[in-house]
Structure 1
Amino acid sequence: MLQVKGKPKVNKINKKNKTNIFIKKNISGWLIMIPAIILFIFFVWEPLIENIRLSFYSARGITTVDFVGLQNYRDVFKDPAFIPAIKNTIAYTIWSLVLGFLVPIVMAILINEMVYAKGLFRIGTYFPNVVPGLATVMMWGFIFRPGETGILNIMLHQFGVEPQVWLNDPKLTIPLIVITMTWRSAGATALIYLACLQGINHELYEAAIIDGASIWNRIVHVTIPNMKNLGRTLLILQVVAVFQVLYEPMVMKNGGPNNASISIMELVYNLAFGKFDFPKAAAISVMMSIFLITVTVIYNKFVKAEDM
């Protein structure tokens, strides 16, 4: 009986010792994380919660006045620029997947297959990412400028091609803006893919070469399967990032011509800092956040189901 009664005390002592050991091992990590957690709460969660609250109120500037429920959400759908902004943002996403998603993969594969000057090409691909975003947009704005003063039109004039309107053409505005976005960001993404490629076991390539596989077959059967998981992650991250495109259409065409390039985030900016209608801007932000969270959850479930 004495032995039976003594067991719980031993267990409690062991648990207490384990807890003390756990605290001692992890206390330094938690102390390092505390400043970052505080900053994250202050700069991310607090504005997020305040933004949700603001979307249910009327306001004078940023000062809330009356609780209006879902009225701001209803008014958003009546805004003449809301539907074009939705359509354009979807178009940005589709074009970015056609251009911006494939280009870094191709760049990474080409650099990985090179024998000489790999370092030079790595630096060259990343260089556009060093250029400030606003400078990049202004530079491409000069390139695509319509008329005889546009850099691209000057180059085409040497081959007898008449000046084109480029960004003034509603059908070309979004693809050209996506080209600008791709030029700036593709290099950094390509280096991420390149790091993944260099982690692939070289014995797989050697076995493929011994079996007589061509470069194309090695890419299809060795390279791409090993990039699959990274590609899935970067795909959803790119969709989320492109849905928040702002300064490219705003600086290059200010959402024009005739709302042909306005994005959701540009509409939010115009409502908040153009019309000072912060509650409607907050309502659009909340709807966009819910949409992106839903898309991410569905995508992750789809990916997990595919792996099973």
Structure 2
Amino acid sequence: MREKKSSSILHSISAWLIMLPGLILFAFFVWEPLLESIRLSLYTAKGIHLMDFVGLKNYIAVLQHPDFLPAIRNTFLYTFWSLIIGFLIPIIMATFITETVHMKSFFRVGVYFPNIMPGLATVMMWGYLFRPGKTGVFNILLSALGIQPFDWLASPAWTIPLIVLTMTWKSAGSTALIYMAGMGSINPELYEAATIDGATPWKRFLHISLPSIFGLGKTLLILQIISVFQILYEPLVMTNGGPNNASISVMQLVFRYAFEDYNYPMAASLSVIISIILVLLTAVYFKATKGKKPEYSTN
């Protein structure tokens, strides 16, 4: 009995020793900055040096700032459009490539290729495509068709969807590969049986592929929401938050507080507010989807 207990203790110690480097790195790079941000948000500061304790005054100033509500609204619009465009496209790409018989490796490399480009280079490239007047690539194509040039990023209704399209072009390929890996673990006999029964590609996706990637999709969905809430350089470079704050994001507002106004306590306060929003959204999402999973069917 003692030997069994000693063995269990040694096993626990070994497990903790294995996790210790990761826990130290996690505490240093995640928890310490988070706690320091909370602390900074409760003080006034001169540069990065804390001055006077002011409690929730910085939070009140952030909530009352005229750019706060537009930034929150736009960030939720970014999230909405990313779910409409950016969440569905990788699933569609993964399904088509999985159903492809020839040149699968070629298509896998092709869809992943945009992901290896630096993010800033991608944004600048799409900025040239959307450039107003007769010098933008898309406007050149429209002119060739006899259509008047369009001021793409100057329209508040178009700005956010076009920025989301830019983000999707860059990142959809890597997400599609993750879905393809999930679909690759499906027993091929299920597809063969469905094909013999006369199931169309749409029915094979709906009743076989979709249930197999449901859990993966739940995780990637919340990760995408978290990622979209941190959107910064796309609106910063392409529109600088314009026109008239139509594309400003909460992270761009944090950037303005920290690196334009040098008001680090307000930047920290807004960062804490963003963290609270994301925690609440994550909790509500997993509560709402808990235990829900499609079942396999070939009918």
Common fold by TM > 0.5: yes
Describe the SS at the equivalent of 1:58: strand
Which residue is 2:167 aligned to? 181
When residues 18 and 236 of structure 1 are mapped into structure 2, their CA distance, relative to the original with a 3 A threshold, is closer
Residues of 2 paired with 1:80 and 1:146: CA distance? 29
Structure 1 runs, 4 residues or longer, greater than 3 Å off: 11-14, 29-36, 305-308
When residues 225 and 17 of structure 1 are mapped into structure 2, their CA distance, relative to the original with a 3 A threshold, is closer
Residues of 1 paired with 2:7 and 2:75: CA distance? 56
- Shift, 1:12, TM fit: 4.3
Indicate yes or no: 2:224 matched with 1:238.
Answer: yes
Indicate yes or no: 2:142 matched with 1:156.
Answer: yes
Describe the SS at the equivalent of 1:306: coil
When residues 277 and 200 of structure 1 are mapped into structure 2, their CA distance, relative to the original with a 3 A threshold, is same
Indicate yes or no: 2:284 matched with 1:298.
Answer: yes
- Shift, 1:32, TM fit: 5.0
What letter corresponds to residue 144 of structure 2 in structure 1? Q
When residues 18 and 172 of structure 1 are mapped into structure 2, their CA distance, relative to the original with a 3 A threshold, is closer
Deviations 1:189-237 (A, max 9, x none): 0000000111111111111112111222211211112221111111111
When residues 104 and 17 of structure 1 are mapped into structure 2, their CA distance, relative to the original with a 3 A threshold, is closer
1:1-308 equivalences under 5 Å are 11-12=1-2, 14-20=4-10, 22=11, 27=14, 30-306=16-292
- Shift, 1:171, TM fit: 1.1
- Shift, 1:31, TM fit: 4.6
Q: Note the aligned Cα RMSD (angstroms).
A: 1.6
Give the TM-score, by structure 1 length: 0.92
- Shift, 1:19, TM fit: 2.2
- Shift, 1:307, TM fit: 5.4
The farther-off stretch of 58-67 and 118-127 is 58-67
Alignment length, in residue pairs?
294
Residues of 2 paired with 1:174 and 1:228: CA distance? 28
What letter corresponds to residue 300 of structure 1 in structure 2? F
What letter corresponds to residue 140 of structure 1 in structure 2? W
> Gaps spanning 5+ residues in structure 2: where?
295-299
Residues of 1 paired with 2:169 and 2:240: CA distance? 20
Q: What percent of counterpart residues are identical? A: 56
- Shift, 1:38, TM fit: 2.5
Give the TM-score, by structure 2 length: 0.94
Describe the SS at the equivalent of 2:290: helix
